[in-house]
């Protein structure tokens, strides 16, 4: 898998290239990262990549031409090394606050592909004509404002690379993650490690029992009640997609009897 980043801040990508799980996978050759600076595709003495917006308004707009030349250079480079299967050119993806929100199922889909050309914007935006001509897909991280696309691109890369075969150890297995289909989209249960008693607080007895069936049941129950409390939308989704067993439903009913309505309504009055 290969990611080509078109960015005014290539140094930022050392974070995913050199550190942690993604850094180790990069070192092992499981994925590659190449950066391309639009400034290197300018032809004026000031290496201008932005200009004032037509129609007025605050801030500056990234010019189409340096970005277009960067995309063309990337396409040529990818072709030269056979990074993409024939007829399966990597998509040009713009990180953008008006894009589709990224999520785990999309990360899984990306993990089955050959990578992408990721365009990172800065300033107020990018000339729309570049987007219309070159961009296949716009991806957002969510409803908050970033200073540019670089952090978005790194989040996307991290979410995809950790799903590649051989990237995670067994111990780090993606199978256990929150949002993983194996957990049917529930949040993960709490974790504990040594010492058994820390600062006077004990570890839940079940986790020390060595009884794997009881431990699995405890974790499932914790996942269900945590998800019901924090993310009821994920409970609904699991229910709709057949991810909740009759036992799960019983656990949720018990939990709602313990926490629901009458006692709380009273204290709220
Ligand atoms: C006042 C209009 N702003 C839109 C909210 C302009 C603007 C803000 C921030 C234009 C670009 C940006 C830079 N943001 C990104 O490049 C970005 C982003 C984001 O801001 N939020 C969530 N996901 C992403 S992905 C890229």
pLDDT digits (tens, 9 = 90+) for 42-93: 999 999 999 999 999 999 999 999 999 999 999 999 999 999 988 899 999 9
Pocket test for ligand 1, best of 96, 106, 119, 123 (most atoms within 8 A of CB): 96
Sheet of 32-36: strand order equals 32-36, 2-6, 115-120, 92-101, 137-140
CA 124 to ligand 1 centroid distance, Å: 8
Q: Is the dihedral of CA 160, 15, 96, 141 positive or negative?
A: positive
pLDDT of residue 47: 98
Question: Residue 59: phi, psi to the nearest 5?
Answer: 75, -175
55 within 8 A of 120, measured Cβ to Cβ: no
pLDDT digits (tens, 9 = 90+) for 168-207: 987 777 665 666 656 789 999 999 999 999 999 999 999 9
Q: Which residues line ligand 1 (CB under 6 A)?
A: 95-97, 121, 124-125, 140-142, 144-146, 148-149, 152
CA 89 to ligand 1 centroid distance, Å: 27
Q: Is beta strand 92-101 parallel, antiparallel or unpaired with respect to 115-120?
A: parallel
Pocket test for ligand 1, best of 53, 97, 103, 150 (most atoms within 8 A of CB): 97
pLDDT digits (tens, 9 = 90+) for 96-118: 999 999 999 999 999 999 999 99
The verdict on whether omega for the bond into residue 195 sits within 30 degrees of 0, i.e. cis, is yes
Enumerate the H helices of the chain as residue ranges. Answer: 14-18, 20-27, 64-81, 104-111, 128-134, 150-161, 205-208, 212-230, 232-240, 246-259, 261-268
């Amino acid at each position: 898998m290969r990611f080509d980043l078109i960015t005014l801040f290539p140094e930022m990508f050392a974070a995913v290239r050199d550190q942690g799980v993604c850094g180790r996978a990069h070192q092992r050759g499981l994925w590659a990262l190449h950066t391309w600076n639009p400034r290197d595709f300018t032809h004026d003495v000031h290496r201008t990549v932005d200009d004032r917006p037509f129609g007025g308004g605050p801030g500056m707009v990234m010019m189409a031409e340096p970005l277009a030349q960067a995309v063309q250079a990337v396409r040529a480079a990818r072709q030269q090394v056979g990074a993409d299967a024939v007829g399966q050119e990597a998509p040009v993806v713009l990180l953008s606050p008006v894009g589709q929100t990224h999520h785990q199922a999309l990360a899984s889909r990306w993990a089955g592909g050959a990578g992408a050309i990721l365009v990172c914007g800065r300033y107020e935006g990018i000339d729309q004509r570049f987007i219309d001509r070159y961009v296949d897909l716009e991806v957002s991280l969510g409803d908050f404002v970033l200073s540019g696309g670089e952090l978005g691109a790194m989040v996307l890369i991290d979410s995809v690379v950790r799903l590649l075969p051989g990237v995670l150890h067994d111990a780090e297995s993606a199978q256990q993650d929150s949002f993983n289909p194996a957990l049917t989209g529930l949040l993960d249960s709490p974790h504990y490690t040594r010492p058994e008693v820390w600062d006077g607080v004990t570890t839940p007895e079940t986790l020390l029992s060595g009884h794997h069936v009881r431990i699995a049941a405890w974790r499932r129950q914790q996942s269900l009640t945590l998800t019901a409390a924090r993310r009821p939308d994920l409970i609904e989704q699991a229910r709709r997609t057949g991810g909740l067993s009759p036992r799960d439903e019983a656990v949720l009913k018990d939990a709602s009897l313990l926490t629901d309505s009458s006692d709380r309504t009273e204290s709220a009055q």
